[in-house]
Structures are given as structure tokens and as C-alpha cells.
Structure 1
């Protein structure tokens, strides 16, 4: 008989999230504690968090969180950055050494502003310029990895159980209006620091439970537009899909959800609203290679909100709850009850139907 830890758990991985509609600050220890009742969904090979609104003093600058394998790599990367950005702050990310987190790389952060002269010479707008720089570092600079690159947000991840990762990064010292979390149980890819969730680009972040059977088709499509999948896990591609659909193609969140979790053709045919039917036909026809197949539940973070989404067959669990101005999302209700014992309006979103929560305008 196989014992726990000796058998593959295809429904493994845990996700959790919380957001304040009013933009009120939430301490990072709340999201860390939410992962404790889902401990057995992870196996210690990856945990991570994303916090939004955590850098108010540097809210107008891109916060680059980076792993380096050596001081020489850091110096080489800094030279690359100084040619393209004004670095207004450079520092090691504070951590709390604990036995559970081992073999950590050099963990650094830079607050930067793109150099207008360089952007102008390349004829690139700001976000496109930053995205290209991030992708280039991750693809061409061995031993250096940008794992967060948004404004007024940051990700924190490592090899370990998520509750240990939160303690390691001292998340109780951060406060944000929105948090996401992930505990990883890798099934087909290795567990390493860069492969832990969330995966990010600019202010977009993804935590994911499931497997992407369409990964090769999705990857080939996005790589035609300059993205590079280098992190040895299928989830990375969802971040680039969302960046492409929202930032490049300027789709709405609802439209992007209808691309990656597209309704079946039979469902579209049965729609009585002609305009709605035309929209779904257009999206399925225009972006067929960006349909994400396989079981998944994801939480997508962005400046000012969150979106939760299941695959259209709902093959992975996801539950949502509310209390006052806060909305909670998780793989299990127990995690929500840890964040808010008196949570109300508990519901389980249908497959393929996005749950979108936005902070009221101006609050963040």
C-alpha cells in the first residue's frame, strides 16, 4: 500500500486570495495563515504570494524582484539595468532565516523608471519596453531571474511550503489591498525557486491549480509575439496569454476569460442574444490557439483587482466568500474561514464564468 507522499495527487496545489473593494490595507500574515489548512495540497516544492498596494512610497516606479545565483551575476545585471533605467532604490529583500527554507539565491529588489531617451530611440511605449527588458533578462542572462516587475506590487516565492515562504519573506511587515497565494504540488515539472507561483509580468500575476494540456499550442502562439517560456512549468504561459490579450489586444477581462475558457461551440450556438453570440464566435475564431484546455482554477491579479476563473468543465475546486468590503477566494472553504470566520455568501463559481472584483476607483 502506498503511503502519503508516495502517490501522485493530480488535484494538488492550493490557491487563495483576498481583496478589499474599498482599498483598505490587509496585512500579509492573513494570506499566509490562509494556506495552513491546505498544507496537504502542497509538497514543499513551491510556495508564493503576490501583494498589491504594498509599495506606496515607490508607487510610481517598477519594482523588480530578482533572484541571482552570484554577486557577479548581480553586477552584470545591474549594468544592463543602468543602461535602460534610472535606479532610484536598490536593496536586498529582507528575509527571516528559517530551517524550512534552504539554498536560497541572492534575493534583490530594484525600484526603477525607464529612461525616456532609450524608449524613444527604440520607439517603444513604457510597458512594452519594461516587458521586453524582463523577458530578455530571463531568457538571455543565466543565473538572473526577474520574478516580479509591476508598479506598487510585488511577488514573493521560494521552494517550500507556502506558510514557511510567508514567514521567510516576513509578509507580516507588508500591507496591501489585495493578496494572492499558492502552494505547489508539481506533477510534471521540477520544483525550483523560479518555478514557484505566482508567475508575473508587469503588474499581472497568476496562481494556478491544475494542468495545461494545451501548453505547447499556447506557448507556440505567444512566442510568435516575443514572449519566452523559460521557467519549466506550464503555468507561466497563462501570464503571457493574459498580457497579450489585455495589454496588447486591449480586450476586456470578460473577453479574455472567454478566450482562455471559451464556451463550447454548442453553448455558443444555443445563445439567444445575437450580439453575445457574435462576440463569442469572433473570440473563438480569432484566438483559437489561446484556448487553455485541461483542468484549472486560477486567480489573476492586476493593479486594482482580481479575477478568478475555472476551466469550463470545473475540474478543479474553487470557492468564493464575502464579508463587508472584502472578497475571499480559495481552493477550500477552510482557507476562507481562516481569513474571516464569519464569511458570508459562500458560493462555487460555475466553470468558465469569471469572478471579477475591482477596487473602487481612486482607492488604490
Structure 2
């Protein structure tokens, strides 16, 4: 197997996604098949998936997926979780033996709701309480890492090729209305279980192909608001930027995408007055959130799927639709292997976000 640093693939990494807009189930075997076609874009140093709608029996609970390096880390983390949340279920995540995946952490999941007394005493809303609790664990308990913490969703990741990761977690036994997937070829950061994609906070999850040359500026900006970038990869900061813009600032999702991919000043100067004012305001107010470098990104959430490319479209990203389903992938072939005859296929343009909303009707409680 190639080792990190032996070869550099400028367009390496693969991303893929599937959504059924009406919330109909899509079996995990489909997203595994899609990402597996792009095997050569990975080097075995990271693969992962995010799935939405997989825990309907716990849809009102937060699902915490946790890596543990040792028993002491699990004891400390569980003590924290049981104190700050009403945990209904604590169990190991089911896995199967896969020859290429080994030396991994102990992997657990917990379902529960926020402890209202502690939350109210902290004077935080529910989502902020959960986000801060996860940040606390990941930065204060050595050997414990909460890598997924949303409702009715979960991330599954490891060091390995993505198709092996999918087999390891037995994702063909899961059905979801949204899937995202990533095959990693790290070039500047280490390949380790926590550094595999997707990255998650609450319901937001990110898979990313590219390099963020503005990482230090973005990290300094987002850490002003209580976030901690500790996962040794530039992708983590994109997740926090979206969470901050969408949850704290309540920006529409397309506006948040425009913040990250805003045009250069000379291009803004040539715009008509309305667009010039719009982008001038975005670049002025959110200067630290502008992301530079080559990238294609898919943001998953319980609201739908968002796909964006950098301004110069230096990373490939293809989209397609078929009935109520939409697909994204780094290569068109990765879409056609699961959807041979799509109704529409197109290349996602630079800095022009594509958002596919989830249109599930909420059931009466």
C-alpha cells in the first residue's frame, strides 16, 4: 500500500452523495457502489459515510458515535455523557472483520436527550448545549473522540478504502434518505481514524475534496466563537464555518455558501449595483470565513444536500437527478453506476451552489 508522502495526486480524494427528496429509503449498498468506483482516488488512509434517517426509533434523541483508545477514556466519557444527557441506549456499533481494517479504536454509540436541568442552568439552547458538550469531550478527555452527534443520523469512518469501511460497518444493513461518502488521499495531514471524513457537528456533516489554503485564517476566525480545530485536517474548519453561519447567524443556506466562495474584489467591482452591494457586505462582514484553495464540498443535513465548488472550479463535481433522487460525485461514472439513465446530468459550476432540499412532511407528534 502507498504510504503518505510517497506520491501526490493533485485531484485526489473522492466524494459522492445520494438523496431521495421525499425521504424514501436508499440502501447503503448504493453509496458504497458509487464511491467504490473511484477507488483510485483514495490511498487507504481514510474513508467514511454519513447517513440521515437511519435511526427512526430514536429520531428525537441525539446519536453520539464515539471512538475510544482505551477503557479509561470510555469510563471518563461515559461519566460525562451520563451526567449531561439522559442516555437511553449505550452499545458498541456493530462491525464485521475486514482484513484491511485493523488496529482501530473501540467504537460505541449512545442515544439520549439533553439534561434539561444542566442545560437551563448553563443558559444555553439545546443545540449549543450539545455542541459545547461534544467540544468539551473532544478537547479534555484524552483517547475519546465524539465523531458524530446529530439526530436521526450518524457518521461512520475509519482508516481504509471507503468500500472496505462500508463493509466494516455493514452499511448495506442501513437505509437512509441521504447518504454522503468520502475516499481520502491526504496530502498535507495525517491519515488517522478521527481525521477521516465526514466531519460532523450536530446535523451538519462535510465531505471535501481539495486543500484549504486559507485554513489558518479560517481557523483563527472560527475559534473566536468557541470552536476548537483539533482533528489535524483542514476540512474540520468548513464544518464549523457552516454551523456558525447557519445556526448562529441564521443565514439562508445559499447565502452561507456565498460567504465561503465569495468573488475577488476586482470581480465585485464589475458587478451591477445590487450584486456589488451584496458581495461587498458578505466579504466585509465575514472576511475570515472566505475559503481559498481548490475544493469541492458536499454538506449533508436533515434539511437536504448542498454542493459547492471553489470559484475557479479546480476540483471536479458532477450532479444528476432521476425522479425524486439527486446524485453528486467527483466523477460522472460514479453516478451512472447506480443511476444508469438519469433525467439530467451537469457539472457543478464554480461558486454556484446546488441545494437539493429534503421535502419530508413532518408527522404530528
**Under TM normalisation by the shorter chain, which class is it?**
over 0.9
The structural deviation recorded for 1:280 is: 1.6
Cross-structure match for 2:269: 269
Deviations 1:211-246 (A, max 9, x none): 000000000111111100111111000000001100
Cross-structure match for 1:306: 305
State whether residues 210 and 297 of structure 1, in contact with CA within 8 Å, keep that contact through their aligned partners in structure 2.
Answer: yes
Cross-structure match for 1:52: 52
What secondary structure does 1:206 align onto?
Answer: strand
Q: Aligned partners of 1:344 and 1:335: how far apart in 2? A: 16
Query: With structure 2 as the length reference, what TM-score do the two structures score?
Result: 0.96
Q: Are residue 358 (structure 1) and residue 357 (structure 2) matched?
A: yes
Cross-structure match for 2:71: 71
Q: Are residue 153 (structure 1) and residue 156 (structure 2) matched?
A: no
- Count matched residues: 362
TM alignment of 1:161-240, pairs within 5 A: 161-240=161-240
Q: Are residue 318 (structure 1) and residue 312 (structure 2) matched?
A: no
Cross-structure match for 1:333: 332
State whether residues 92 and 108 of structure 1, in contact with CA within 8 Å, keep that contact through their aligned partners in structure 2.
Answer: yes
Cross-structure match for 1:344: 343
Q: Are residue 246 (structure 1) and residue 234 (structure 2) matched?
A: no
State whether residues 21 and 356 of structure 2, in contact with CA within 8 Å, keep that contact through their aligned partners in structure 1.
Answer: yes
The structural deviation recorded for 1:251 is: 0.7
TM alignment of 1:78-157, pairs within 5 A: 78-157=78-157
The structural deviation recorded for 1:265 is: 2.2
What secondary structure does 2:112 align onto?
Answer: strand
Q: Are residue 19 (structure 1) and residue 19 (structure 2) matched?
A: yes
The structural deviation recorded for 1:7 is: 2.3
State whether residues 22 and 363 of structure 1, in contact with CA within 8 Å, keep that contact through their aligned partners in structure 2.
Answer: no
The structural deviation recorded for 1:304 is: 2.5
Unaligned runs of 5+ in 2: none
Q: Aligned partners of 2:301 and 2:276: how far apart in 1? A: 28
Q: Aligned partners of 1:249 and 1:63: how far apart in 2? A: 25
What secondary structure does 2:312 align onto?
Answer: coil
Q: Aligned partners of 1:303 and 1:239: how far apart in 2? A: 15
Deviations 1:41-62 (A, max 9, x none): 0000000000001100000000
The structural deviation recorded for 1:100 is: 1.0
Aligned-pair RMSD on alpha carbons? 1.6
Distance 1:363 1:343, change over 3 A: farther
Q: Aligned partners of 2:77 and 2:6: how far apart in 1? A: 41
Query: With structure 1 as the length reference, what TM-score do the two structures score?
Result: 0.97
What secondary structure does 2:37 align onto?
Answer: helix
Q: Aligned partners of 1:110 and 1:33: how far apart in 2? A: 29
Distance 1:166 1:363, change over 3 A: farther
The structural deviation recorded for 1:82 is: 1.2
Unaligned runs of 5+ in 1: none
Q: Aligned partners of 2:173 and 2:360: how far apart in 1? A: 26
Cross-structure match for 1:294: 293
State whether residues 20 and 358 of structure 2, in contact with CA within 8 Å, keep that contact through their aligned partners in structure 1.
Answer: yes
State whether residues 23 and 363 of structure 1, in contact with CA within 8 Å, keep that contact through their aligned partners in structure 2.
Answer: no
The structural deviation recorded for 1:276 is: 3.5
State whether residues 46 and 183 of structure 1, in contact with CA within 8 Å, keep that contact through their aligned partners in structure 2.
Answer: yes
The structural deviation recorded for 1:6 is: 4.1
The structural deviation recorded for 1:268 is: 2.5
What secondary structure does 2:88 align onto?
Answer: strand
The structural deviation recorded for 1:363 is: 6.3
The structural deviation recorded for 1:281 is: 1.3
What secondary structure does 1:83 align onto?
Answer: helix
